[in-house]
Structure 1
Amino acid sequence: MPEPSTQSRSVTVPGGTLELNWAAATHTGRRRDVNQDAVFAEFPLFVVADGMGGHIGGEIASASTIERLRDVAGTGTVTPKSIEKALSRAVKDIASHPETTDDGTGTTLTGVYLDTSGDSAHWVTLNIGDSRVYLVRDGAIVQITTDHSVVQELIAAGRLSPEEAENHPYGNVITRAVGPSESVTPDYVRLDVVAGDRFVICSDGLTKELTDYGIRHFLDENSDPAAAVAAMLDAALENGGRDNITIVVLDVESSPAES
């Protein structure tokens, strides 16, 4: 597997210049034969997809979704409308592929993009399924996205504690996905742009092996995005690597207010 490398970009936004650094990696893990995860990390869009369905169906679903979103990112302007149009096309791609079926074929999708269309820049997270976006700000790590899963619904209803959820038999059952019979409208969260912010975008192959505290530990220990990605990937593999693992670390080095 090639070592992750840090990419950098200066972005002109309303009010100044934004410095971004990021790195990404994906790995099959120790228990799976194929990698059904897919990743795209190029300004202004950073996304992870975790496929499901058959030996090859999930791989096709995640790859189709990422390719459609790559086209959107290539225009330089990402909006909820353009994302949802791309996802509708991905659903058609998945449904029409000869090696996929309607029975459980689909993919999660999560990530973040930079919206510079208004008077000030904002991050926007998007999410379908149980892959996650975390934000580290002022030394605290927060999960920004909400899992679309049976376990999360049980937690929200007060019927399950987070500790009980870790080993629940329905831990892998998601309630929303990009697939032939599923909704393709993500949840969105808008966030201010703040200097020093660090985003982690990941499939559940990472969060099965590392707690939120563990993720923050490796971020604290590694200021370079590529080093942080590599450290988390190594730790997830050492802890069992039960699933495909995909990680993006995105750093905001400066904000418009400081330019």
Structure 2
Amino acid sequence: MHRSPVTGPDRMPAEGDVSRSYPLGGHRLDVAGGSRVGQRYSANFDVLHVDPVLPFLAVADGMGDGRGSTVAGGTTMETMVAGVRAAAPDLGPGPLRAAMARAQSLVRAAGAELNELTGCTFTGLVVVPPATGPVDEGHGGGARRTAPTARAAPGGSTPDPATVAELSGWIVQIGDSRAYRLRDGLLELLTVDHTAAWLGAVYGWYPADSPAAAAARYQLTRYVGHPAMPEPDLLNVTLRPGDVYCLCTDGVAEQLDYQRLASRLGATGSLAETVRGILADTLVAGGRDNATAAVLRVEH
């Protein structure tokens, strides 16, 4: 959906869905993602990434419906993927901020060449290997921990609890694409929309259902390609068995209400079915925007 800023290599996502599974720290992480054009636009300006090797999922949403939107989304996603892969397994705030800073620079440069609005939102989640093993003093003097290997329990396939480590992950977010978590039946919004509407709701500038609030919904205060090159929000989260994380563009967040999204994420069955259901709901709601979702579930 078109957005306007508050201050003054191409890649188009496929319509097909994708599913992955990652064994990590005695757990299994199931991931599924998908994207739909919707009814308003002839092309999809969202970008979806579900990494084939690392437990890393991300969504991006271009600003506008032109060349700048396509370039911004593709460039940002490719840059963040390259940064995560280069830093793995030692992922943390430093490498993630550095990757976003590079994406900002590249998108700003592309915008100068295109001479049009060139920007996008980005939300990603990367799960890091558990650091519970012995300390390795190598690697240039920097202490580093090695991840444990889960052992199968005698007579069964359940991992030995002594080797099942607690997992953590980093959420990287800028703009108004969102990250949700369903835990013990409670759906929480973990991220903040970087929009004038969010600030207005917090500080009471105008009623939430007013025309002014509706207009402010599309005024981004932070995004990739912003003249000030703002930093993203970084959030460290713990992943527990049963947790479901959902990353989505505003084409999902604006068309599915809280109860509907919570119901979809809490349903039993495959995550591929969950994602297809979420995206189908956006079309039923009117398909007023490109819609993209990536969902991760932590299994024992």
| TM-score category (smaller protein) | 0.7 to 0.9
Separation in structure 2 between the aligned mates of residue 122 and residue 39 of structure 1, nearest angstrom:
22
Separation in structure 2 between the aligned mates of residue 109 and residue 5 of structure 1, nearest angstrom:
19
Aligned to 1:71: 82
User: Against the structure 1 CA distance between its residues 60 and 99, is the aligned structure 2 distance closer, same or farther, given a 3 Å change threshold?
Assistant: farther
Separation in structure 2 between the aligned mates of residue 228 and residue 193 of structure 1, nearest angstrom:
19
* Amino acid across the alignment from 1:38: V
* Amino acid across the alignment from 1:68: T
3-state secondary structure, aligned to 2:261: helix
Q: Decide which structure has the larger Cα Rg and report it.
A: 2
1:46 and 2:57 matched: yes
* Amino acid across the alignment from 1:57: G
On the 8 A contact 1:7/1:22 being kept in 2, the answer is yes
Q: Which runs of 5+ in 1 are unaligned?
A: 255-259
1:31 and 2:40 matched: yes
Q: Which runs of 5+ in 2 are unaligned?
A: 1-13, 133-165
Deviation digits for residues 141-195 of structure 1 (CA, Å, limit 9, x no counterpart): 0000011001100011023455558971222221100105143421112222211
2:257 corresponds to which of 190, 211, 217: 211
3-state secondary structure, aligned to 1:97: helix
3-state secondary structure, aligned to 2:219: coil
Deviation digits for residues 69-122 of structure 1 (CA, Å, limit 9, x no counterpart): 111232333322222222222233223337854653211111211133644531
Aligned to 1:22: 31
Matches within 5 A, 1:137-216: 137-164=183-210, 168-179=214-225, 181-216=227-262
What is the TM-score normalised by the length of structure 1? Answer: 0.87
Per-residue deviation, 1:23: 0.5
**CA RMSD in angstroms, aligned pairs only:** 2.3
Matches within 5 A, 1:98-117: 101=114, 103-116=116-129
What is the TM-score normalised by the length of structure 2? Answer: 0.76
Separation in structure 2 between the aligned mates of residue 214 and residue 22 of structure 1, nearest angstrom:
20
Aligned to 1:247: 293
* Amino acid across the alignment from 1:44: P
User: Against the structure 1 CA distance between its residues 153 and 10, is the aligned structure 2 distance closer, same or farther, given a 3 Å change threshold?
Assistant: same
1:96 corresponds to which of 101, 109, 127: 109
Task: State which drifts further: 45-54 or 157-166.
Answer: 157-166
User: Against the structure 1 CA distance between its residues 98 and 203, is the aligned structure 2 distance closer, same or farther, given a 3 Å change threshold?
Assistant: closer
User: Against the structure 1 CA distance between its residues 182 and 229, is the aligned structure 2 distance closer, same or farther, given a 3 Å change threshold?
Assistant: farther
1:127 corresponds to which of 162, 169, 173: 173
1:236 and 2:249 matched: no
Separation in structure 2 between the aligned mates of residue 182 and residue 63 of structure 1, nearest angstrom:
20
Separation in structure 2 between the aligned mates of residue 105 and residue 2 of structure 1, nearest angstrom:
23
Aligned to 2:143: none
User: Against the structure 1 CA distance between its residues 169 and 140, is the aligned structure 2 distance closer, same or farther, given a 3 Å change threshold?
Assistant: same
User: Against the structure 1 CA distance between its residues 124 and 98, is the aligned structure 2 distance closer, same or farther, given a 3 Å change threshold?
Assistant: closer
On the 8 A contact 1:60/1:100 being kept in 2, the answer is no
Identity %: 27
1:80 and 2:89 matched: no
User: Against the structure 1 CA distance between its residues 46 and 184, is the aligned structure 2 distance closer, same or farther, given a 3 Å change threshold?
Assistant: farther
On the 8 A contact 2:206/2:213 being kept in 1, the answer is no
Separation in structure 2 between the aligned mates of residue 220 and residue 28 of structure 1, nearest angstrom:
25
On the 8 A contact 1:121/1:192 being kept in 2, the answer is yes
* Amino acid across the alignment from 2:109: S
Number of aligned positions between the proteins: 250
Separation in structure 1 between the aligned mates of residue 125 and residue 218 of structure 2, nearest angstrom:
23
